[in-house]
Chain A
Amino acid sequence: MNTATLFGLCASMLIGLGLYGLLTHPHPLRKILALNVIGSGIFLLFGAIAFRGAAAGMNADPVPQALLITGIVVAFSASALAVALLLRLFEVTGDVSLANEDPAAHKDTSKDRPHD
């Protein structure tokens, strides 16, 4: 098996692992972490594709590599925003739960609470 295929398959599994974590963890911070695992998997897959595109004396296709750098920076800013939002939610409510199903919470959102 060549390097690109090996890391491509590894990336596919990383994406699946991250997806499982995202869907099953109730803690938002774990969801953010899982999104980062998915993101890393996607980046690794793109890296493997870049490696397959070695040509013209270059060891890898530089276009996907450049896009990856952009992608990593964008993913970081997304994580930073999500973490800041989560910490603020914790500060304001003392909790980090994303569920609205909490009956007590449900009561006061559906009745008379002003929303403006």
Chain B
Amino acid sequence: MTESPASLLLVLAVLLPFTGVIFGLLIGGRHVRTVALTTVALGLAVIGGIVWHALGTCSGSGTAIEYVLGGWSPPLGIRLRADGLSVLMLLAVAVVISLVSVYAHADFAPHDSGKETRAPLVFWLMLLAIWGSLNLVFVSGDLFTLYVALELLTFAGVPLVALDGRGETLRAALRYLLFALLGSLLYLLGAVLLYGAYGTLDIQLLSQVVRPEALSWAALALMTVGLLAKTALFPLHIWLPPAHAGAPAAASALLSALVVKGSWFLVLRLWFDVMPNVVTLSAAQLLAALGAAAIIVGNIVALRQLRLKLLIAYSTVAQIGYLFLMFPLAFGLAFAGMDSAPALTGGMLQTISHALAKAAMFLAAGLIYLTLGHDRISDLRGVAQALPMTVTALALAGASLIGLPPSGGFLAKWLLLSAALESGQWWWGAVMLLGGLLTSVYVFIIVVRSLAPAEAGWMPKTRVPQYQQMAVLALALSAFLLGLAALSPVDLVQLGRTPLSLLRGTP
């Protein structure tokens, strides 16, 4: 356990964005964007400090960063805890948030009159709120605090879905809210059962006392189903495409790249950290089977879409599927007494590269829409002429989704594929390859259609500022070059983590 002044950074990572919300609301008017961008800059410094500190302990004591709030240690009090998984997620989210903020600079500018307008106020405050809630999800060590974090995340996401106020986006937002509320209630129900059985909500303490018995199974099942509804894993995905595709581009990027990762991360925490000795391999196989169905169905439906934004949203349905393939791979390896770390690293890389690539794709779709005045896939002529950087970004982000080297997606799939073969579960490898094939078809179609020359005399509907294109390209490049993380001298993922095989008591 490391409790140093640097640990206070965990508190700041959560509360700084929310303080930004408070000041943004208080000052309001045309200053909201300034408040938000200042908060983003300060927040980046905080996250930078946490990463710096984590890298330091990685080569030193190798323990997680902890902060006990108010000096009341668990089980009575609450502790924040950042292990390798938390630090990586904090970093990835900070990168996406800052680049989306750069992109949204013009889209959500204050009104010329200087009067406060609705959309910029809501967008900037909810961007900060999403950031704070996600950081809380990553660093909270208490199951009830995590419930509040889930609700914060939902309340920050719903207004973004309905930001443009049309009937169909309101309907999408209401459907999303109902799914999400049921999801968090089921999660809370599981947490209540765990408290009744073990008298604590602290993740570290629970992991030491949880026994594989009926109560724990019931709790794990209820919490997992609830979180899957919030993550939109097949067949609980029906709310996602209209909700993500109907929002403005910058909001879609936040929802699709980041918000769904919050509840996914909690599934990971529950299965790997709270109850690894309750999990059975067949339960993990079931989770991956849903993931496999998501990959196949999501990609096929994506291929049939006529509009770019809906295609990208269905691609998210498919990519969420990949995030659940790691479960039987890691547990399969641990059951066989082998090192499960590569499967976990692969899953984390998959999440992060999807976050970067999907944000890039939604933002690119936004620029294409501005340029053409529509986003029909059948008619993307002239896009490459008008937006060369954006089409490059689309191609790079697409390459990462497919899993071409040296992208983050490639390294992730490579690690997961090796884990599949090593643990004798080749079928999950086959699903991954098939998914990659389907993805490459639609990425290819989009890129080729955008390269087609425009009719003579065609003019873009709107001139897109250069910096917006650069923000998109930066996101796509980060996803594409993430594979180089394999060269990193430190293994941040395993910081402060006990190997799964030790937790399970197998040699």
Contact = CB atoms under 8 A, between A and B. Distances in A.
A15 B189 CA distance: 10
Contacts of B166: 92
A88 B170 contact: yes
Contacts of B422: none
Given A46-B192, A110-B306, A112-B374, A81 B178 contact: no
Interface stretch (B240-248, B254-262, B473-481): B240-248
B189 A116 contact: no
Interface string A53-74: 1000000000110010011001
Given A42-B192, A78-B151, A93-B170, A85 B162 contact: yes
Interface in A69-87: 70-71, 74, 77-78, 81-82, 85-86
Contact of B369 (A52, A78, A116): A116
A64 B144 CA distance: 10
B151 A74 contact: yes
A9 B460 CA distance: 65
A82 B177 contact: yes
Interface of B is mostly: helix
Contacts of A89: 167, 170-171, 174
B10 to A, nearest CB: 21
Given A89-B167, A110-B306, A71 B188 contact: yes
B309 A85 contact: no
Contact of B168 (A53, A64, A109, A111): A109
A98 interface: yes
Interface residues of A, number: 41
Interface string A12-39: 0001000000100000100110010011
A52 B195 CA distance: 12
Given A82-B178, A89-B167, A92-B166, A35 B185 contact: yes
A15 B193 CA distance: 14
B309 A93 contact: no
Contacts of A98: 171, 174-175, 178
A100 interface: yes
Contacts of A111: 306
Contacts of A112: 374, 376
Given A46-B192, A115-B245, 5 more contacts: A32-B178, A49-B192, A86-B174, A88-B170, A109-B242
Interface of A: 15, 22, 28, 31-32, 35, 38-39, 42, 45-46, 49, 52-53, 63-64, 67, 70-71, 74, 77-78, 81-82, 85-86, 88-89, 92-93, 97-98, 100, 105, 109-112, 114-116
Shortest Cβ-Cβ A-B pairs, 3 listed:
A93-B167, A49-B196, A89-B170
